[in-house]
Amino acid sequence: MTKRIVRVRRRKKKKKIRRIAALLFLIALMMGGGFYYVSQVYTASYEELGRGDKSDLREEAVDIGDDPISILLMGVEDYSTDGKAGRADTQIVMTLDPETNKITMTSIPRDTRVELPSYKVGEEYAGKHKLNASYTLGELSGYGAEKLAVETVEDYLEIPIDKYATVNFEGFIEVVDLLGGVTVDIKEGFWERSSVDYYEKIEFEEGPMQMDGEEALAFVRMRKRDAALTYPRDERQRQFIKASIDEAISAGTIFKAGEIADVLGKNVSTNLSPRELYAIQRAFSKEESNTETFEIEGENTRLENGLYYFVPDEESLQNVKRNLKQELGFKLPSDYESTDDQNDAYQNQ
């Protein structure tokens, strides 16, 4: 049985300055969803996970806006399946600590191999799958797309996922265009097919480029060209998030709020309530946020069934797990004073 790890409060000197409603930007901009101040309007589709007010890995529910929390951000593709059983091809774990004003982002490769138990999805869908299939099989099995995706990430990283948000690709192009485009400093040139016209190639040259919605979607989706090896998709997505934040807080965006809200309402789903979103907006509204990214190193390898999976470097994966636990304020075995305490902690995890 997994023991919940005791959370320890940490206090660090806060840095002053810039107004960033960090969660609101990242939820909506994670895969191009958009931006809006929750104090003005809340239009995302509110969907509970059906597990009460906390993760099973928590002893107590977190106090949103005061405690460090984790959020699973998912970019969902379902236009190829007529809106049914889509794939969560992008999964980013974000942590937010209101005390230290720190945000972290950890991308989990879509091809990571995970185990889906039969008691959740039934014998038909149980077994080893790629991570992005957890969302699909959660819906097909009736267990719940978001619920299975969240619990699968919890099992993989051994941390509680407190909240989730999904952004549908359908809203990507429209919101980026409403923002007036997004400028990204491209590190390496490549090309990708347009999602609007398959026979159109979009060229990306090294250096700053202002992208419209169609170009931005191609930029963050590319994964089959040679450049994907040296300029990986996860890095491009994080680049785009940061560039979009800058654009979203620029003058004039608030005047497009109504149009952006309409798009978000149709393409965003989350179990963050308006009150919780507002609490986070307040917590991050007067300080400069410090953003850090954690990377799970590894490589794509053909395994025994003939399919390619992402196989993590075990040391890298353990380091990421430890870092995330620290960001969430969990007490780790090395923090205990005695050897007996450490042994008890290990045995009960």
Mean of the pLDDT values across residues 125-137?
94
Give me the percent of the chain exceeding a pLDDT of 70.
Answer: 72
Q: Is the residue at 253 inside a domain?
A: no
Candidates 317, 347, 66; CA nearest to 325 is 317
Q: Is the residue at 231 inside a domain?
A: no
Summarize pLDDT for 276-287 with one digit per residue, the tens.
877 777 776 655
Q: Quote the pLDDT of residue 120.
A: 95
Q: Quote the pLDDT of residue 268.
A: 78
Mean of the pLDDT values across residues 58-84?
81
CB 4 within 8 A of CB 58: yes
Mean of the pLDDT values across residues 190-211?
92
Residue with tokens 């410090």: 290
Candidates 59, 72, 90; CA nearest to 27 is 72
Cα–Cα distance between 208 and 222 in angstroms, integer? 18
Mean of the pLDDT values across residues 174-195?
89
Q: Which of 146-150, 186-190, 216-220, 253-257 shows the lowest per-residue confidence on average (mean pLDDT)?
A: 253-257
Q: Is the residue at 346 inside a domain?
A: no
Q: How far apart, in Å, do the first and last CA atoms of the chain sit?
A: 7
Candidates 347, 284, 292; CA nearest to 320 is 292
Mean of the pLDDT values across residues 212-217?
90
Query: How many folded domains does the chain comprise?
Result: 1
Q: Is the residue at 123 inside a domain?
A: yes
Q: Quote the pLDDT of residue 139.
A: 93
Residue 95 has pLDDT above 80, yes or no: yes
Residue 273 has pLDDT above 50, yes or no: yes
CA angle 23, 7, 338 (to 5 degrees): 150
Give me the percent of the chain exceeding a pLDDT of 90.
Answer: 37
Q: Quote the pLDDT of residue 149.
A: 96
Mean of the pLDDT values across residues 168-196?
85
How far is the CA of 156 from the CAs of 38, 127, 244, 298, in angstroms? 31, 14, 29, 15
Summarize pLDDT for 300-327 with one digit per residue, the tens.
898 877 888 999 999 999 999 999 999 9
CB 25 within 8 A of CB 165: no
Q: Quote the pLDDT of residue 335.
A: 54
Q: Where are the beta strands (DSSP E) in 194-288?
A: 201-204, 207-211, 268-270
Q: Quote the pLDDT of residue 315.
A: 97
34: left (phi over 0), alpha (psi -120 to 50) or beta: left
Confidence of residue 170 (pLDDT cuts 50, 70, 90): low
Domain extent for 151: 22-179+267-328
Rounded to the nearest integer, the mean pLDDT of the chain is 78
Contacts of 315 (CB under 8 A, 6+ apart): none
Q: CATH number of the domain at 142, please.
A: 3.30.420.590
Q: Is the residue at 73 inside a domain?
A: yes
Q: Quote the pLDDT of residue 276.
A: 83
Amino acid letter at 300? N
CB 246 within 8 A of CB 211: no
239 or 172, greater pLDDT:
239
Residue 105 has pLDDT above 60, yes or no: yes
Q: Quote the pLDDT of residue 30.
A: 36
Confidence of residue 255 (pLDDT cuts 50, 70, 90): low
Q: Is the residue at 189 inside a domain?
A: no
305 or 328, greater pLDDT:
328
320 or 94, greater pLDDT:
320
Q: Is the residue at 129 inside a domain?
A: yes
Q: Quote the pLDDT of residue 253.
A: 61
Q: Which of 16-20, 267-271, 281-285 shows the lowest per-residue confidence on average (mean pLDDT)?
A: 16-20
